[in-house]
Every structure is written in C-alpha cells, then in structure tokens.
Amino acid sequence: MAFTLADRSQSIVRSPTVHADTLSSRRGFVPSSSVRRLSRALRPLLMRAFLVVLTVVAIAAPRMAAQKVELSIDASKPGAKIDRNLFGQFAEHLGHGIYDGIWVGSDSTIPNTRGIRNDVVAALKAIHVPNVRWPGGCFADGYHWRDGIGPQRVVRLNPDWGGVIEPNAFGTHEFMDFIDQIGSEAYVSVNVGSGTVHEASDWLEYMTAAQATTLEKERAANGHPAPYKVALLGLGNESWDCGGNMTPEYYLDRMKRFSHFVRNYNPAQMEKDQMLKIAVGPGGGEQRWTDWTETVMKAYQQHTWSWDINGLSMHSYTVVKWPPAFKSVGFGEDEYAQILKTTLEMDDLIKKHSAIMEKYDPQKKVALVVDEWGGWYAPLPGSNPGFLVQQNSLRDAILAALNINIFARHADRVRGANIAQMINVLQAMILTDHEKMVLTPTYYVYKMYVPFQDSTFVPVSFDAGSYKHNDFTLPRIDAMAAKGKDGKLWVEITNVDPQHAAEVELNVTGINAKSASGETLTAPKVDSVNTFEAPNNVVPNTISARAQGSKLILQLEPKSVTVISVEQ
Ligand code: AHR
C-alpha cells in the first residue's frame, strides 16, 4: 500500500485542546474596546461562579485516600551493576524510523548535520543512549551492506515493512555518523538469513580495519579513514522466524561460522572494549523457545576457541494477542490494567530463560539481552499498517518503568535491552512529522532514569499492595534503587494505581538520609499523550520528600513514575 508523508501527518493523533489565544491569533481576531470593557466588568462575576463550581465538584468527587507504603532500602548491600546497555535503542529501516525520523538528507530545509536531524540528535543526546541496534529487526536479514555505501546507492524495496522503496541513502557511514553525533555506540546486526559469512566478514573488515587492506582503503575513500568501533554484533535476528525460519540446530551451525569468521579488526577493541557477539535467542516462553535456549546454551558450554558468544538475545513485546489490537490512545482503565498486567510477564520470561542459562553458564558469562521489547498496539487509523505507527501514552511510560525495573532486578544476567523502536515506530521515544518533533512519555522515563546507567543495584523491600480493576489484579507499587556513578542513592517508585495517590515512607539504612528530591511523571488520563500541538501534556515535574524523624515521606500521584535522589 502506498503511503505518503501527507497521509502520515493525518494519522498522528492530535490533541483536541487548542488554546483560545492561539486560535484567535491564528484567525487574526482582535477584540474591540467595548468587548474588552464588557469582559473586564464580567470578570469578578465569572470568577465567583467558577469558584462555586469548583467547590461543588470538590465536594461531589469521591475522596480517594492516599495508600500508605513503606519502602526500606539498605544502601549498605550493593548488588549487581545495572549496565548502561539496558537503556539501548533500536532503529530499523521500517516506516519512518530512519527516513524522516533520523535522516532527512543534507538538502533538507529541516536543520540537519550531514543529513541527520539536529532536533532528534539533541533530544537523544539528553537521554545518553548507550547503543543503537541497526539496521533491523527483520530488515537486517535481507540487508546487503554494499547497497548503502559510496556515491551510488542501490535502490531496493523493503518487503518486510510496507513494500516501500528503500533508497539506502542511510547506510554504514550515515549510521556511524549518527551514533557519533548522539554520543552512542553501534550494535550492528549482520545478515545471517539471506547473506553469507563472507559478506558479513567483509562488512566488519570494511568498518573496523586499520591496516591498508582493500576494504580499509575503500572506507577511507568513502570519507572515513579511521576505523569505526562496533561495540555489539548481532548474529542474525529472529532466525526462528523472519530471519530464515531455522531450527535451533541449523541456526547453531550457521551462527558458529559467523561467530568465527566475522571479525573485528579495530586495534582499540583488541584488549579492552572487545566487540560483544549476541546470538539469536528466544521469542517467548513456550517449549519451542526453551528448546532454543537449551540448544544454544548447551553448545556454548562445550564451545571451543574457534567460536564464542557474549550474549543471547530475547524478544518479548507486550501485545496481549496477535495481531496487535489494543489502541495506543483513546482507551480506558480496562486496557490500561490489562496491558500492564501483561507486561509484568517479562519477569517470568527472564526467570525461565535465565534458569536454563544458569545450567550451562553458572558464571554468567553470557548476558541475556532483551534487544526487542515494548508495547505493540494497533496501527493508528489511516497509517500504513506496515509502518507500525502508534501513539505513546502515560500508560507506556509506566510500562517502560516496570520493565526497566524488572531488568534491573535481574541485572546480574540481563545486561542489555533495546526498546522497540527509537523513533516513529512502536514504543518510540520521539515522533516526527516533517519539521515537527515531539518527545513521548517514554522518552521522559528514559531521561529520568539516566542516573541508573552503570549504577549499582541496591535492595528495596516493600509491600506492594494490589491494584484491582475488573478481572485484573497487579501490584500497586513498584520500586527500584541503586547507587549512581555520582555516589548518590537513586530511587524509582511507580504508582500503578490510576485512582489512588500513594504516601511513601522511605526508611534508608546504610546512609544518613536527610532529604530527597527529583522528578515525577503523570498526567490527567491513563491515555494522555504528547502531540505536536500540545507537546507538554505528559512531562516531568519536580518533587521532593519531607523528612520525618529518620524517615522521608513522599506523596505520589496516581499513575505516576518518580525518580528521586537521596541527599545525606
Ligand atoms: O520491531 C519490529 C519487528 O519485530 C522486528 O523487525 C522483528 O525483529 C520483530 O518481530
């Protein structure tokens, strides 16, 4: 189905809230002096009427008492490192994830640096993106890197995602430039499905060789004499499905060859900063997936010098059922509760696959890397279904916080995660439409969590209580704490309950906690979203705790995500 940018701008949901002053100035409306006099005279009357209405509403509204929660944090018992790579992003050649989202070309009127949008770069820099997984996803197993280098790009179709033209204007050099501009690292997925070991091995030599090989010279001639750093290497993507529909045994045979021959030659990555190789892992919890993990991990236990892996990928989206039918905006508490209940299944999934990994790798050398996760909803009406366009609401912010906390609690094994996807696709950080850009509620969660990157987990104990809605019961409160690289104690608390505020009593041992302050993210409705016209519907506000003896007391809004640092 053909899909133009104009169609797409219609498809982005816009807030019906347009301020009166904006409307009048847009229409060139200037009130006459008699109208102004009349409005001055009416003002006190109107104000009185407004106060009466407010009082009536306040009396009539049911008083939802704040639920008390005690949180005990023992800062003297540090746990695992919360790897910054848990905050990784994913950018696939899919819909407007790359084209329009990142790449506009250097001729564009949209401010850019060598074709890469300046507004997007500035926004991403602020969330300290540790790595970006590219070029897919399913796209990666049909990608041929030579199509995207040099002055003459090969124009192809993108059969996985809408069958649209893939101009290959954004290739290796553009990706590496983008990574550099946002201060991140490359997680490159090589084509195991339709490519060859030779092709992938050449790509790595092209990117990383420092000596004067033919490929190194070609890279230099294309504008980059210095070798690129490839921090992470994906050995295929979903090879059990869009990546070639392989059995675990067949994948294993193939993967070993890629692991051996696809080498990184960057001298800076020889001793330290070695490239981490991530094998394809499970996509769910059923036997098909546990068999997959068993097969790869059992082989790993017996691996020889000639092949190795450092991570096993896992993909798990919050969908409820396929095809994704839940709305990304315009939903109520039912869908809120059901989606959040479903997203908590991530914990069991990690436990299940970690247990298998533990059998074959008790030293935890192989990380579990959840390199595709997030809420996957029905495409926005009017959008190309192959472009996976959805809005991003307060519910998604809460979903993100719950998942990040799950990853952090398993930080000894889960050392990487990539939310899907960074811009304009699925649970995005950023939405763009031509020159417009808006930051989503999920973006703000990532910003609030920056202090947790490379922090050290600290245990928190609390009675979460429960939030019940119709058939769904889930923990009312979630919390996570860590000692940041800055030496401070950082605490995250999510109040899942959309009806009740929470009064949190923080008891911190191991440090002398004097005060705490930070940011909290909430909004009027569970499906509140930011739009191009109203970008500040869901943005963080400051929050602070009051000291009460040796405790700190914090008032949390219903349906909120809060991150505070504790001062000693
Ligand atoms: O993120 C969208 C798609 O979901 C990816 O291309 C694929 O790996 C997964 O099935």
Closest CA to ligand 1's atom 5: 137
pLDDT of residue 510: 86
Cβ atoms within 10 Å of 27's Cβ, excluding its own: 8
As for ligand 1, residues whose beta carbon falls within 6 Å of it are 92, 136-138, 237-238, 372, 420-421, 426
Kindly report the backbone phi and psi dihedral angles of residue 495, in degrees, each rounded to the nearest multiple of 5, phi listed first. -100, 105
Spatial separation of the C-alpha atoms in residues 124 and 114, rounded to whole Å = 17
* Closest ligand 1 atom to Cα of 139: 6
Given the DSSP bridges, would you call strands 367-375 and 311-318 parallel, antiparallel or unpaired? parallel
Find the 315 Cα to ligand 1 centroid distance in Å: 9
Long-range CB contacts (< 8 A, 24+ apart) of 152-158?
158/93, 158/94
* Closest ligand 1 atom to Cα of 90: 1
At 407-437, the pLDDT tens digits run 999 999 999 999 999 999 999 999 999 999 9
| Average pLDDT of span 234-258 | 98
What is the layout of strands, in order, in the sheet containing 455-458?
81-82, 455-458, 477-483, 489-495, 560-567, 515-521, 541-544
Spatial separation of the C-alpha atoms in residues 310 and 194, rounded to whole Å = 23
Closest CA to ligand 1's atom 2: 137
At 465-489, the pLDDT tens digits run 999 999 999 999 999 999 999 999 9
Mutation choice for ligand 1 from 139, 315, 387, CB with most ligand atoms inside 8 A: 315
At 440-459, the pLDDT tens digits run 999 999 999 999 999 999 99
pLDDT of residue 18: 25
In sequence order, what are the residues at sequence separation of 6 or more whose Cβ sits closer than 8 angstroms to the Cβ of residue 16? none
Find the 464 Cα to ligand 1 centroid distance in Å: 33
Spatial separation of the C-alpha atoms in residues 337 and 152, rounded to whole Å = 51
In sequence order, what are the residues at sequence separation of 6 or more whose Cβ sits closer than 8 angstroms to the Cβ of residue 472? 337, 338, 341
At 84-110, the pLDDT tens digits run 999 999 999 999 999 999 999 999 999
* Closest ligand 1 atom to Cα of 420: 1
| Average pLDDT of span 197-207 | 98
pLDDT of residue 66: 85
Find the 428 Cα to ligand 1 centroid distance in Å: 14
Spatial separation of the C-alpha atoms in residues 522 and 528, rounded to whole Å = 9
Strand ranges inside 252-396, DSSP E: 276-279, 311-318, 367-375
Beta bridge partners of 315: 372
Kindly report the backbone phi and psi dihedral angles of residue 425, in degrees, each rounded to the nearest multiple of 5, phi listed first. -130, 130
DSSP codes joined into one string, 300-329: HHT--TT---SEEEEEEEE-SSSSP-S-SS
* Closest ligand 1 atom to Cα of 372: 1
Spatial separation of the C-alpha atoms in residues 514 and 509, rounded to whole Å = 12
Mutation choice for ligand 1 from 316, 370, 372, 427, CB with most ligand atoms inside 8 A: 372
Spatial separation of the C-alpha atoms in residues 568 and 564, rounded to whole Å = 13
- Cα distances (angstroms) measured from residue 307 to each of 114, 256, 264: 38, 6, 13
In sequence order, what are the residues at sequence separation of 6 or more whose Cβ sits closer than 8 angstroms to the Cβ of residue 18? 533
Check whether 197 has a pLDDT greater than 50. Answer: yes
Find the 138 Cα to ligand 1 centroid distance in Å: 6
pTM: 0.89
Closest CA relative to residue 224, chosen from 174, 155, 167: 174
Question: Catalytic residues, which ones?
Answer: 238, 372
First to last CA, the chain: 59
